[in-house]
Structure 1
Amino acid sequence: MRRAVLTTVLMGMTATAAWADDLFWVVGNRATNRCEIVTSNPVIIGDIWFASGPFKSKDDAKLARSTINACPNKDMTQED
């Protein structure tokens, strides 16, 4: 039962994100050793090891990136 509820919730979140425009996510990228802001719903596989979001604006995503402990400090000074 829990699995069915979780699957339904995750599918609902994915469908909602697919209909929305201009959403942003913060993703941790092992290949670049950076936290990047992306505009497509990320898949957590390979070099992408975490994602946070969606955020309604790029400024919100930048603020979130600055508060994520896993993000290297050098990301906070770089402009996207």
Structure 2
Amino acid sequence: MQRWVLGASLTVLFATTSLAEDLFWVVGDRAADRCAIVTSNPVIVGDIWFADGPYKSLADAKLARSTIGACPNKQDPADD
């Protein structure tokens, strides 16, 4: 029983630690004709036609957005 309690507490500890970090995704938005960087896991439906990620930093997400061929050269001013 003590092993089970220890295992459960370690699982909860690691789960809450991983939720605390910010993750970023690059999404293609057909309606706005741009690729945006978002901080929540996107759902591919409607005008969101692709998603790439997650990335651990905003700099990594910006680099990925600049190398994705499907992204137009327009960038979201809020991301800068």
Listed one character per residue, the Cα deviations across residues 10-59 of structure 1 (whole Å, up to 9, x for unaligned) are xxxxx9xx835200000000110010000000000000000000000000
- Note the residue ranges of structure 2 that are not aligned, 5 or more in a row: 1-14
Return 5+ residue gaps in structure 1 as ranges: 1-14
Q: Residue type matched to 1:21 in 2?
A: E
Determine the structure 2 residue equivalent to 1:53: 53
1: CA distance, partners of 2:69 / 2:51: 13
Contact preservation (8 Å) 2:35, 2:74: no
What does residue 63 of structure 1 align with? Answer: 63
Runs ≥4 residues deviating over 2 A: 18-21
CA–CA separation in structure 2 for the residues paired with 1:20 and 1:65: 24
How many equivalent pairs are there? 63
CA RMSD of aligned residues (A): 2.1
1:7-46 matches, within 5 Å, as 19=19, 21-46=21-46
**1 CA distance for matches of 2:52 and 2:62?**
11
Larger radius of gyration: 2
Q: TM-score, normalised by structure 2?
A: 0.70
